[in-house]
Amino acid sequence: MTTPTEQDPDLAWLDDATRRFAQTEVLPFLSDWEDAGEFPRTLYRRAADLGWLAMGYPEALGGTPCSWQLRNALVIALARQTGSGGLLASLFSHNIGLPPLVRHGSAALQQEVVPAVLRGEKIAALAITEPGGGSDVASLRTTARLEGDAYVLNGEKVFITSGMRADWLTVAVRTDPQNKGPGGISMLLVPGDSPGLQRTALRKMGWHCSDTAQLHFDEVRVPARFLIGQEGAGFKMIMGNFNGERLSMAAMALGFAECCFDEALAWARQRKTFGQALVNHQVVRHKLVDMKMRLESTRAWVQAVTVQADDGVMDADWVAQVCLLKNHATQTMQFCADQAVQILGGMGFMRGTQSERIYREVKVMMIGGGAEEIMKELAARQLGL
Ligand SMILES: Cc1cc2nc3c(=O)[nH]c(=O)nc-3n(C[C@H](O)[C@H](O)[C@H](O)COP(=O)(O)OP(=O)(O)OC[C@H]3O[C@@H](n4cnc5c(N)ncnc54)[C@H](O)[C@@H]3O)c2cc1C
């Protein structure tokens, strides 16, 4: 299996760093974190110290500008080494929460919020989905009315990653009650400790160590200067933000699929049935080959779309590629998780194996950030079908 190192020798340090991080700072504690429903806040500081939280952000905000190729190489390597979607989802929730601010917010607001998040001192999250629906973003109902120098929020958000302990929430709100469509939507920053904001933890199929919340806004007042960009520009920001999220999710899915392959291969080499190692049974070997075939195509496609992003090729065709790639990569993850659990046999059904956890984390990858059906529709539109 190719690793980032083999693809690009300059990335050897990334393989080493993520392996060390996983083996010493994650894997020995992961089961406990999954039971607790969160990982320690100190891990954000640790990831910041390693330079991982700041990747891709402007220097002026404490970031380290870098290519999409490097960012995705990190995501793939971390996913492969830790095998924990919950860890990646919460540790990097700022990568969906901050971009609207970094792209469209005032310099003063950026300075107030971003550097502390990149230092791992504060947590940022994104809140778009509502109990009434997530796919149809344009019809969201949480409102924010301007009263003097404050916006007053009322409404509900659901399934929000890092929602229980985020210090900053980037919230999609309807600022124009007359406009029920995309033009009435704006983006507001909401401090996590705002009076009137109630957060409820949600129990899930997987991603157990990620804190996921339902948020209830009851007359929550935030300063008007926390508006990101212009009123009514929120929908476009959300759509632009989705491209990066979906590309990262494809990279994550690839890493988790590789993690399943690694575990299944190691098991198949040491486990013996009928006098020989599992891997020597042709049927088992072919399962591994079928996994490898999908892994290789996914890796090549992730690489191609990522290079296009670095080259600034982000046209309609690229958006379609991102949608199709997210579906392809998550299907690869689904296939590999299924095959790995089968190869592990009863052990694959036991808590504590990577494949068991990843098997439970497949569906959120196929639904979150845009469900498979929505990806197909969006791709069809972009391709003019
Ligand atoms: C663990 C987890 C973490 C999440 N984190 C966040 C977060 O941090 N921030 C955030 O804002 N959201 C978050 N989400 C929400 C996620 O983005 C939504 O769940 C997703 O967009 C789908 O929205 P929905 O669940 O409301 O499903 P719905 O919109 O109700 O759709 C249900 C299903 O119907 C199908 N469907 C919907 N519309 C169509 C259509 N037009 N054609 C065909 N089929 C259709 C799809 O299969 C879809 O899965 C998270 C979700 C989960 C599970």
Domain boundary residue, one of 118, 153, 179: 118
Same domain, 204 and 263: no
Q: Kindly state if the Cβ of 270 falls inside 6 Å of ligand 1.
A: no
Answer yes or no: is pLDDT of 331 > 80.
Answer: yes
* Ligand 1 centroid, distance to 129 Cα (angstroms): 7
What pLDDT does residue 99 have? 97
Q: Which of 210, 250, 256, 249 lies closest to 355 in space, CA to CA?
A: 256
Ligand 1 atom 42, closest CA: 373
pLDDT of residue 218: 98
Query: From the alpha carbon of 127, which atom of ligand 1 is closest?
Result: 11
Task: Give 119's pLDDT tier (boundaries 50, 70, 90).
Answer: very high
Give the pLDDT score at 79. Answer: 98
Four-residue CA torsion sign, 329, 331, 337, 340: negative
Q: Are 19 and 34 members of one domain?
A: yes
Question: What per-residue confidence (pLDDT) applies to 1?
Answer: 47
CA of 11 to the centre of ligand 1 (A): 35
**End residue of a domain, out of 90, 118, 146:** 118
Overall number of domains in the chain: 3
Residue with tokens 């590999």, as numbered in its chain: 336
Q: How many helices (H) does the chain have, and how many strands (E)?
A: 15, 10
For 128-165, b/e burial (b = at least 16 CB within 10 A) is: bbbeeebeebeebebbbeeeeebbbbbbbbbbbbbbbe
Q: What is the DSSP string of 231-262?
A: TT-HHHHHHHHHHHHHHHHHHHHHHHHHHHHH
The overall average pLDDT reported for the chain is 96
pLDDT score of 4 more than 80? no
How many whole angstroms separate alpha carbon 354 and alpha carbon 106?
Answer: 43
Convert the pLDDT of each residue in 181-221 to its tens digit: 999 999 999 999 999 999 999 999 999 999 999 999 999 99
Q: Which of 158, 159, 190, 252 has most ligand 1 atoms within 8 Å of CB, for mutation? A: 159
Q: pLDDT category, 11, cuts 50, 70, 90?
A: confident
Among 11-20, 123-132, 188-197, where is mean pLDDT lowest? 11-20
Residue of 34, 38, 231, 245 marked catalytic = 245
Shared domain for 266 and 190, answered yes or no, is no
99 plus 130 within the same structural domain:
no
SS3 175: coil
Is a pLDDT exceeding 90 seen at residue 13? no
Residues 264 and 205 in one domain: no
| Average pLDDT of span 257-276 | 98
Digit-coded pLDDT (tens) for 69-111: 999 999 999 999 999 999 999 999 999 999 999 999 999 999 9
The pLDDT tens digits for 160-184 are: 999 999 999 999 999 999 999 999 9
Q: Are 240 and 369 within one domain?
A: yes
Residue 351 belongs to a domain with what CATH number?
Answer: 1.20.140.10
Condensed to tens digits (0 to 9), the pLDDT of residues 351-375 reads 999 999 999 999 999 999 999 999 9
pLDDT at res. 7: 58
Give yes or no: residues 169 and 139 share one domain: yes
CB 127 less than 6 A from any atom of ligand 1: yes
CA of 218 from ligand 1 middle (Å) equals 24
Instruction: Report the pLDDT value the prediction gives residue 379, as an integer from 0 to 100.
Output: 97
Range of the domain at 363: 236-382
Nearest residue to 101 (alpha-carbon basis) of 17, 28, 168: 168
Q: Which is the closest atom of ligand 1 to the Cα of 210? A: 1
Per the annotation, the verdict on 356 as an active-site residue is no
Residues 215 and 253 in one domain: no
373 close to ligand 1 (CB < 6 Angstrom): yes
d(CA 248, CA 75): 7
Residue that is last in its domain, among 118, 150, 181: 118
Residues 175 and 260 in one domain: no
- Which pTM does this prediction carry? 0.96
| pLDDT given at position 45 | 98
Testing ligand 1's pocket by substitution, the residue of 367, 372, 377 carrying the most ligand atoms inside 8 A of its CB is: 367
Confidence of residue 12 (pLDDT cuts 50, 70, 90): confident
Residues 263 and 142 in one domain: no
Best mutation site among 126, 142, 374, 378 for ligand 1 pocket (most ligand atoms within 8 Å of CB): 374
Nearest CA to ligand 1 atom 25: 134
Say yes or no: 195 and 276 in one domain. Answer: no
